[in-house]
Every structure is written in structure tokens, then in C-alpha cells.
């Protein structure tokens, strides 16, 4: 299909970013650029544009499903506890496998009309992680590949003992591995399975941490081999007053939503998992992505009801012109009416308070359980007797299923019940892991051992990124790049959105506006910087586009569920598009090869990539995504089985392609994600808006991602949609400087907003915020290495560091940057002071060094220039204080050590450095890790230890934390291998040692 006769909605030319003049925006928002060939019939064009228009005007709830319009959710959500029709039991004894790490039994429905299931319980590692999996042996469920770490099977651990008790109802108890060899006070971790009715409880020291099927709501719909007539769906009578909220019924198993038919050839195959967290008071966190509070609200009241959520109008469409300052009238203590949804979707200008799922899904939930009748005690890691008897414990569950899932959260009001959750998945496996904790660091580490840790970022990627839809040509790129240097504002990466391509053919260049891409990239790189181009998963159907021609010939696309298995045709930015079947490893390998310098003409090793729209977004598809009955892996797998993991596979293939160029660490940003994405690269929170609500909500969103393993994340600084005023833009930079991923980005129709576009004093204040990020780069890089090694989040909730403090359980307006910095950003317009809660310990104001002793609340006066930031006593923070243009330019610059003594006058810290580029740190130990100890007025630098490990953010005092942290490294040929310490500043005494003539890689001691 040719494109020479196509038409397009033209991109406007924008004013120079170096001009202080800011042009007026158009009165109405315009559609994103779409190229459509004239061969497409008018009717199809109209259909596409009508689908597309709703995306660019506002979030329209009626375009998306709810539980009531998702038949599988409607069937399982409102069932009563211990319904006899759902009851299951274990039939017969468990059989333990030959290596003693796994046990299997048969599970049957008590009513007796379904095939038996197999129940398999497997022990992993030495911290009590257990996997529970149900399957149908006659029709095994799909098992998603490449999500769990490759080495997981090698960590299977032998049960310590197995006991079957037939008294007072039959039970089987498995004692899991415990760390007796390193902690003599550790207590047993057990899995106790009640046979009839089926109930599975994981306990530490005899106290239940997580319970499966406590309310008898588990269900597993068996495949009906005799056809739909045997299992007609019951979705409500037509004369029911709520019939309009029910799915549109079709003959057989098919169902329709908004005119889109899902054939559902395998019929109802839903899974319902009933998982509870016992305790007198329980907070639950995680299951991103959505714009909600960090501590997840209930989705059903004690009686099963709920209230409407968000600012949704009666017709289901949010008013895009509503005043951003308007507060909603709903009571935030009331539950949502909808369950939390896990289904990757392209959601345009999403609501700032809604359980609705967004671009990515990670089905992991953390629980903080308070038991009022137990001994109070410190929580400093490990599984010691004191920890296990603490009044607060933490645990987590990961549900290993990438299909569409709804999650209800309910606290009944009966304190002994804790929190009940119900996970309803459309299909896939009944497969979940329980992480026993009992500390935040332990649950994080245990989850990381299942799905992996954060990819070690290239150092430049931790700097500031400047992006816009779109920098219009090479002159514009040069002007923006120069604008930073002219104003002494550091940055590291300049990004190009979809308009840089030749007609939305990815990995091509618009020859008019970007005629010399290699020269352009090399010019930016000559100042130590990088560039990024966007590459989306839809491929323009064009017979003159080599990528499409080859993919078509090799049958590499997602296919239709028809007799011929023809390639799926959907609509996205280029118009008619096909979608690579990245679920197939063969296709991923082919796609990776397209990023070689020979194939990606005009690219260089200094060009990195951005994957957008990879949910995947299909403008004319149901819910703006791909039909569930489309086929992957040459027709072997339905899309419904892999929907939430599709974007991650595309992300992985792209990152592998960049890595293959020169074996350097790639930067590939993705919008869609799933469990395991942390092993690939960063994500961002998508199409947010330029308002104070979205500024505030970016904190719990990034925190939720962090505790779900995906710590390398951030929000678009300034908001993607709309025009922030100067104050909002400044406040967003002050917060964004502490996002793990720090990027400014804006919509095509917004005013130019590079950091200097607002004039003084805003330019000066924004410059200070960005420079603070660069000043703290040694600390941030050390935190990222700990995240890579142990899975600890860089930006973390206060409860991660202060797990016993009930005051921080719901706090999501402050955050810890690693273990040593508490950030309390200004989140409201025109305020003159804010109130900050400081937990137990000594704290120092980062700017004034004023000392505070917590727990306390501090009223801090703020001006435009103020970013409330506090240093935690007991820590040593490494900085680089010389202002440079980029991270690369900082290489070899000397360190300043900021010593913040605790109440005893002591402090510890660590610093990690490597080449920031490649992988020599893995095989050759080509890095330097040094520990600092400040005690009795003396500062010592030496090999790292468990004592200093907490300075890099890993859990201290635990036998399993920091298992690699004591490796000091052997150095190497990189700029920071011989870095000096130029200044030591001790905050409580304000004493300073200047030019002590010591180096990071040496052992030394200084007396202050």
C-alpha cells in the first residue's frame, strides 16, 4: 500500500525555545497527528476519527469496562462467604516430590460436578517464600514465560518437615526453610493446609501472615469441552433495572462491548483468589498502576456497598475544562464502588483519584498488619524472635497472572479479620507466591528474588531529560541544547517524539526536518549528552516500508482468529497498522536486530529509545486496545492470556537490541509494564495533566511502583496536558528532581516550557532544583546499585524506613529518598508554610542544617525557592558540589561527605562507583564500594560491611540483606576510580575539613 498520495493533519511549527516569548495556545485541543492514505474508504476514516476523538478530548469512562460490564468479574464479585456451590476440599494426602521441595494433592469441588484440580505447594529460598498453584490436569492453563527470573527453579528449598494431622479435621503442615544457621533466634515459617474446607495459611512463629480462602470465595472455572450450551452465562435478566450495566449478550460464549465482539472460543475460564491479611489494623499497598492513595482504600463497604469514585459526570465523561482547583465533595474515607483493575490501557488524561487501571499492571500487594496485643519492639530486619513478636509485621503476595484482573479490598470492621482481598482474573493460572516478610525490606527482597531486581542504569540516565511532542527539526534541537548551556542548567538527554519520523514509520527520519540525524546526535553527544527517539509497537502497513514488508513475509505479526490466520490490522498514529507478535521469542529476536547501526540508519551508539503505546494501544479496538481473541505464537495463544505482559516483551526486545550494538547499558523507557519490567528499564506514569492534583498524586504513584519492584519511574514534570503556571512548574521541578526517573515532557498543543521559559525568579529556582539532583548524583547512583543488587526502592514510603510508626502508615505526601533523606515537597498553590512529620531520630534541614529531634511535627516556612528536605541523623551522604553541564562532565570530580550524626554522635554511609556505561562491574568486579563510619569524632573509610550497608539503603542487621554488599570491588579504568574527597562537613558541630588529601579507593581515617 503506497503512501505518496496520503494526507495528514499537519504539525504546527513552534516558536524558538530560546525566546522568552511564549505563544498563545490554540483555543481547542487538537488531535494527535495521523497519516491516512486516500485509498482508505471514507466510512473507515470516520470510524477511526470518531474513536480517536474521544481519546484527545478527555477521559471518557463509557469507553472502558467496569466490573459490571466484564462478565467474569460480575459472576464472582458479589458472592457470599463460604457459598457451598464454591466450596473446594483437598482429597487424599499430599505427595512430596523426590527432592522434597514441592508437594501435590488433588482438589475437588465439594458439590462434585467438576473435574479435580491439582494443588502444588513449592518452597523457595531460605526466607519462607511459598508458591501455590492450582491447575486443571486435563486442560492445563497457559503459563506465561519470561516473567519470573530464570534462576528461580534453582532456589527451590527442601521442606524442613511435613506433618499430616487427622484429628479435629484433616490438615497438612509444611515447615519451610528458616535461617537457623545465621540467626539462632529465628522461628519456624509454616504453611498449614486445612483440607475441608480448603484453607491455606502461612505463619511465622505461629502467627498467620497471609491466608488463602479464608472466606471460601476461591473458584476455578473449568473449560467446558461440550460447548456453550452446557455453560450459558448468567449476567442478569433483561428486565433487571441494572440491565444496562450488564455485558451485551451474544449467542454462545461471545460477548460484545461498545460494538466490539469477543468470540471467547474457550468459554468462561475465570479464576477467583480469596487472600486475606490478618491483623487488628491492616493497610495494603501496591497493585499499580492507578492514581490513588498509597494505602489502598476499600472497594466495598462492610455490607458490600460502595460510593462512586472520582469526578465522573453522570454520563461517564469528565469535563476537561473543570477548574483544576475544584475539590471533590466525596468523603475520602469511603470505599470506591469499583474494584482495582489490572489491565494495561491507553488512558488519556486520567482521573486523579480512581481505582481504574492505567498503562501497566503489577499484581503484587504488600500488607502492613498491626497486632495490638503483642510485644512492642524495634524492627531492624531479619527474622529474630523480637521481630516476629513485634506489633507490626509486613507480608506480600504476588499473583502470577497477566490476564485482565479485578481486585477488591475490604476490611469488615471486625479487627480480627484484617484485610480481605478478592482477585478475579478472566483466565490464566491460579498461581501465586506469598512473601512472609516480616519487614518491608524482607518482603521487597523476597519479591525481587522471584521477578528480579532493577536494571543497573547507565549513569547518564539518572540526569535530567528534556522531552516534548515534538522538537520540530534539527535547528530546534540545537537551540534547546544550547539553551541549557547558556543558562548553566545541567541536563543529559534530549528526546524526539513521533514527528521526527518519515510518516510514522519508526526507525526512519523526516528528511525535511531531520536530514542529518547522525550529525545532529554526534553534535549533542560532543557535550557529553545523549538523544532518545520514540519507537512504538504498531508498524505502518506500507509496501514501501522495509520493516513491514519483511515482517509480513516472515509472518511475524499478531493474527486474526480466522481460518487463514490473517494478520491483524489496527489503527494507531500511522493509520492502518500491524502489530509485531512480541510474545514469540523468535519475533523478539528479529526485532532486536533492527536496532543495529546498519539497520537503524542515522542512529549512533549515543541514541537510545522510548517505547510508547505498548499496552498495546489500538485506536479502533475495544477499550482502545487489542481484541482478546487475537492470536500469538503462530495461533497457539490468545491475546487475553498475555495482554498485560505484551508491552514488557516489546520493551525487552528493544532493550536487547540496543545492548547488542556495543554491550553497553541501554536506556529504553516504556509506558506499559508488568512484573519483571524492572529488569529492563524505566517507566513513567503516562499522560498526566498540568494541575496540582496530578502533582500531588505523582508521589503515591511512584511510591507504589517502587514497592512493586519498579523503582526506576517518574511522572512527566509539569504535566503532559495543559499549561502549568510558573509556580506549579517550579514546584514540579522541585519534586521531580527526586523522582528516580526525571523528565520534563509536554503535549504538542502546550506552550513551550523549557526550564527558562518562565523568566526570573523561576528560571533560577528551577536551575537550583535540577542542580540539587546532580549534586546528589553519587548518593543516587549508590541507591540504584543497591536496588540492582537487592531490589530496594530508591524513592520509598516513610513506613519502609520506620515500619513501627503508625503515623506514617498512610503518609503519601512525603517520601524517603533512600534511607537518609526525607522529602516533603510543596504540593499546594500559594502556601507560606507546610507541616512536616519527622519520625523518631535526629533530623537536619538540608539547606539550613537546623537540627530537629523526632518524632515531631515541624512547621516550615516556605518561599518559592524552598524544597523541604531533611537529612536523617546516623547517615553519611556523598555529594559532588561542582556544577557541571552533564553527568559525564562530573566524572572524576571530588566528593563532599555530609556527615549527619545521630543522637549518639555516630553515622554510617556507603558510596558505589563504576564506569557508568558497561557490564565490567559484573564479571570483573570493576567497581569501588566503600564504607564510611563516623564514631567518636573520627571518620573512617574502609571496606564495606553489614554495619555500613544500611547507608546504601539495604536492610541492616539481616543475614540475607547485603549478601554482596561487603564486596569492595577492584576499581578499574574509569574517571571515578581515583576520585578524591575534597570536603567533609559534620552537621551537628558545623565543623568542616577541607582538602584532606584522601581518595575514595583508599583506607583512611580523619579526626574532626
**With contact defined as beta carbons under 8 Å apart, do 107 and 121 qualify?**
no
- Going from the C-alpha of 964 to that of each of 193, 289, 364, 924, the distances in angstroms are 36, 31, 26, 14
C-alpha distances in angstroms, 878 versus 736, 913, 937, 980? 20, 11, 18, 12
The dihedral built from the CA positions of residue 958, 960, 962 and 967, taken in this order, carries a sign that is positive
Residue 915 annotated as catalytic: no
User: Under DSSP, is residue 118 helix (H, G, I), strand (E, B) or coil?
Assistant: strand
Q: Are 399 and 277 in contact (CB under 8 A)?
A: no
Give the contacts of 638 (CB within 8 A, at least 6 positions apart).
265, 266, 561, 628, 629, 630, 631, 632
Q: In terms of Cα–Cα distance, which of 445, 325, 994 is closest to 722? A: 325
934 in Cβ contact with 907 (< 8 Å): yes
Q: Give the residue ranges of DSSP H helices in 424-580.
A: 440-451, 474-486, 517-525, 546-553
Could you give phi then psi for residue 626, rounded to 5 degrees? -85, 140
843 closest CA partner among 891, 800, 900, 926: 900
What's 860's DSSP letter? E
DSSP H helical ranges for 554-617 = 585-593
Cβ neighbours of residue 639 closer than 8 Å, sequence gap 6 or more: 558, 626, 627, 628, 629, 630, 631, 632, 646
280 is catalytic: no
Of 262, 283, 473, 615, catalytic: 615
Rg, Å, the chain Cα set: 28
Which among 417, 338, 392, 296 has a CA at the least distance from the CA of 810?
A: 296
Residues 6 or more apart in contact with residue 660 via CB below 8 angstroms: 592, 593, 595, 596
Give the number of other CB atoms < 10 A from CB of residue 850: 13
Per the annotation, the verdict on 790 as an active-site residue is no
Q: Residue 30 phi/psi, 5° resolution?
A: -105, 155
Residue with grid cell 499537519, as numbered in its chain: 10
Catalytic residue among 233, 262, 687, 754: 687
Task: Give the contacts of 563 (CB within 8 A, at least 6 positions apart).
Answer: none
Do 37 and 66 touch, CB atoms closer than 8 A? no
Angle between helices 643-662 and 585-593 (to 10 degrees): 40
Q: Is 672 helix (H, G, I), strand (E, B) or coil?
A: coil
The CA angle 676-678-679, to the nearest 5 degrees, is 75
Whole-number Å distance between alpha carbons of 778 and 930: 12
648 within 8 A of 678, measured Cβ to Cβ: no
Cis status, amide bond into 105, omega within 30 of 0: no
Q: Is 102 exposed, middle or buried (0-12, 13-18, 19+ CB in 10 A)?
A: buried
Q: Which of 612, 749, 801, 914 is catalytic?
A: 612
The position carrying cell 512536616 is 836
Active-site residue set: 612, 615, 687
Amino acid at each position: 500500500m503506497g503512501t505518496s498520495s496520503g494526507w495528514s493533519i499537519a504539525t504546527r511549527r513552534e516558536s524558538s525555545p530560546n525566546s522568552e516569548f511564549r505563544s498563545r495556545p490554540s483555543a481547542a485541543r487538537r488531535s494527535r497527528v495521523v497519516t491516512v492514505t486516500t485509498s482508505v474508504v471514507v466510512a473507515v476514516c470516520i470510524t477511526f476519527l470518531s474513536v480517536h476523538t474521544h481519546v484527545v478530548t478527555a477521559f471518557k469512562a463509557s469507553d472502558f469496562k467496569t466490573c459490571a460490564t466484564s462478565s467474569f468479574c460480575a459472576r464472582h464479585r458479589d458472592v457470599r462467604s463460604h457459598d457451598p456451590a464454591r466450596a473446594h476440599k483437598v482429597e487424599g494426602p499430599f505427595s512430596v516430590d523426590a527432592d522434597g521441595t514441592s508437594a501435590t494433592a488433588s482438589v475437588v469441588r465439594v458439590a462434585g460436578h467438576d473435574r479435580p484440580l491439582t494443588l502444588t505447594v513449592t518452597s523457595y529460598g531460605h526466607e519462607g517464600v511459598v508458591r501455590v498453584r492450582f491447575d486443571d490436569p486435563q486442560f492445563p492453563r497457559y503459563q506465561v514465560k519470561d516473567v519470573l527470573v530464570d534462576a528461580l527453579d534453582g532456589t527451590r528449598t527442601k521442606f524442613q518437615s511435613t506433618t499430616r494431622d487427622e484429628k479435629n479435621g484433616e490438615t497438612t503442615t509444611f515447615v519451610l526453610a528458616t535461617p537457623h544457621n545465621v540467626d539462632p533466634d529465628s522461628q519456624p515459617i509454616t504453611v498449614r493446609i486445612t483440607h475441608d474446607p480448603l484453607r491455606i495459611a502461612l505463619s511465622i512463629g505461629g502467627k498467620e501472615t497471609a491466608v488463602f480462602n479464608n472466606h471460601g470465595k476461591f473458584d476455578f472455572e473449568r473449560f467446558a469441552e461440550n460447548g456453550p450450551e452446557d455453560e450459558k452465562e448468567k449476567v442478569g435478566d433483561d428486565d433487571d433495572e441494572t440491565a444496562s450495566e450488564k455485558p451485551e449478550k451474544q449467542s454462545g460464549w461471545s460477548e460484545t462491548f461498545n460494538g466490539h465482539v469477543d468470540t471467547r472460543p474457550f468459554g468462561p475460564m475465570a479464576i477467583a483468589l480469596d487472600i486475606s491479611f490478618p491483623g487488628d489494623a491492616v493497610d495494603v499497598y501496591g497493585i499499580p498502576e492507578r492514581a490513588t492513595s498509597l494505602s489502598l482504600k476499600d472497594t466495598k463497604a462492610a455490607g458490600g456497598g460502595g460510593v462512586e469514585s472520582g469526578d465522573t459526570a453522570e454520563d461517564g465523561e469528565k469535563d476537561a475544562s473543570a477548574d483544576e482547583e475544584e475539590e471533590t465533595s466525596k468523603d475520602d474515607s469511603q470505599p470506591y464502588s469499583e474494584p482495582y483493575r489490572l489491565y494495561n490501557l491507553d488512558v488519556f488524561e486520567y482521573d486523579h483519584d480512581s481505582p481504574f487501571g492505567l498503562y501497566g499492571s503489577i499484581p503484587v500487594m504488600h500488607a502492613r498488619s498491626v497486632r495490638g496485643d503483642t510485644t512492642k519492639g524495634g524492627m531492624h530486619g531479619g527474622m529474630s524472635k523480637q521481630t516476629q513478636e513485634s506489633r507490626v509485621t509486613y507480608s506480600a503476595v504476588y499473583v502470577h497472572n497477566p490476564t485482565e484482573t479485578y481486585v477488591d479490598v475490604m476490611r469488615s470492621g471486625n479487627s480480627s479479620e484484617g484485610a480481605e482481598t478478592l482477585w478475579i482474573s478472566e483466565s490464566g493460572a491460579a498461581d501465586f507466591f506469598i512473601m512472609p516478610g516480616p519487614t518491608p525490606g524482607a518482603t521487597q527482597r523476597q519479591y525481587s528474588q522471584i521477578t528480579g531486581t532493577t536494571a543497573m542504569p547507565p549513569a547518564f540516565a539518572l540526569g535530567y531529560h528534556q522531552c516534548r511532542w515534538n522538537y520540530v527539526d534539527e535547528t530546534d534541537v540545537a537551540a534547546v541544547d544550547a539553551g541549557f548551556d547558556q543558562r548553566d542548567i545541567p541536563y543529559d538527554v534530549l528526546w524526539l517524539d513521533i514527528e521526527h519520523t518519515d510518516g510514522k514509520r519508526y526507525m526512519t527520519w523526516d528528511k525535511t526536518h531531520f536530514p542529518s540525524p547522525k550529525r545532529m546526535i554526534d553534535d549533542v553527544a560532543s557535550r557529553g549528552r545523549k538523544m532518545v527517539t520514540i519507537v512504538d509497537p504498531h508498524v505502518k502497513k506500507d509496501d514501501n516500508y522495509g520493516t513491514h514488508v519483511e515482517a509480513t513475509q516472515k509472518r511475524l505479526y499478531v493474527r486474526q482468529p480466522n481460518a487463514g490466520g490473517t494478520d491483524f490490522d489496527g489503527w494507531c498514529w500511522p493509520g492502518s497498522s500491524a502489530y509485531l507478535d512480541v510474545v514469540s521469542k523468535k519475533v523478539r529476536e528479529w526485532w532486536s536486530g533492527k536496532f543495529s547501526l546498519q539497520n537503524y540508519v542515522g542512529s549512533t551508539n549515543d541514541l537510545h529509545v522510548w517505547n510508547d503505546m505498548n499496552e498495546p494501544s489500538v485506536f479502533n479496538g475495544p477499550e482502545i486496545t487489542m481484541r482478546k481473541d487475537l492470536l500469538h505464537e503462530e495461533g497457539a495463544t490468545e491475546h487475553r492470556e498475555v495482554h498485560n505482559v505484551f508491552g514488557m516483551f516489546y520493551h525487552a526486545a528493544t532493550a536487547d537490541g540496543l545492548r547488542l550494538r556495543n554491550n553497553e547499558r541501554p536506556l529504553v523507557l516504556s509506558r506499559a509494564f508488568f512484573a519483571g519490567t524492572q529488569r529492563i528499564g524505566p517507566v513513567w506514569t503516562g499522560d498526566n495533566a498540568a494541575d496540582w492534583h496530578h502533582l500531588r498524586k505523582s508521589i503515591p504513584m511512584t511510591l507504589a511502583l517502587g514497592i512493586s519492584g519498579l523503582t526506576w519511574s517518574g511522572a512527566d514534570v509539569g504535566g503532559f496536558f495543559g499549561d502549568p503556571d510558573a509556580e506549579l512548574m517550579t514546584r514540579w521541578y522541585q519534586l521531580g528532581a527526586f523522582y528516580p526517573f526525571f523528565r520534563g515532557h509536554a503535549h504538542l498543543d502546550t506552550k513551550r516550557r523549557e526550564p527558562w521559559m518562565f523568566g526570573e525568579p523561576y528560571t533560577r529556582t528551577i536551575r537550583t532544583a535540577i542542580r540539587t539532583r546532580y549534586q546528589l548524583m553519587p548518593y543516587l547512583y549508590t541507591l540504584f546499585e543497591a536496588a540492582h543488587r537487592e531490589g530496594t526502592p530508591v524513592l520509598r514510603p516513610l513506613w519502609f524506613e520506620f515500619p513501627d510508626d503508625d503515623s506514617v502508615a498512610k503518609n503519601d505526601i512525603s517520601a524517603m529518598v533512600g534511607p537518609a533523606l526525607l522529602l516533603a515537597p510543596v504540593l499546594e498553590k500559594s502556601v507560606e508554610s507546610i507541616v512536616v512529620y519527622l519520625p523518631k531520630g535526629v533530623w537536619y534541614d538540608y539547606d539550613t542544617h537546623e537540627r530537629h529531634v523526632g518524632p515531631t511535627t515541624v512547621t516550615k516556612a516556605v518561599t518559592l525557592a524552598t524544597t523541604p528536605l531533611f537529612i536523617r541523623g546516623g547517615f553519611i551522604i556523598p555529594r559532588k558540589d561542582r556544577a557541571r553541564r552533564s553527568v559525564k562532565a562530573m566524572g572524576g570530580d571530588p566528593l563532599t561527605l555530609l556527615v549527619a550524626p545521630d543522637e549518639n554522635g555516630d553515622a554510617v554511609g556507603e558510596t558505589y562507583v563504576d564506569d557508568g556505561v558497561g557490564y565490567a562491574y559484573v564479571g570483573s568486579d570493576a567497581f569501588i564500594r566503600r564504607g564510611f563510619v563516623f564514631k567518636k569524632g573520627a571518620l573512617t573509610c574502609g571496606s564495606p560491611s553489614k554495619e555500613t550497608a544500611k547507608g546504601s539503603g539495604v536492610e541492616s542487621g539481616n543475614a540475607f540483606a547485603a549478601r554482596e554488599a561487603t564486596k569492595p570491588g577492584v576499581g578499574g579504568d574509569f574517571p571515578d576510580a581515583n576520585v578524591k574527597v575534597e570536603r567533609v562537613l559534620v552537621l551537628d558541630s558545623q565543623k568542616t575539613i577541607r582538602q584532606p588529601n584522601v581518595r575514595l579507593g583508599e583506607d583512611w581515617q580523619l579526626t574532626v
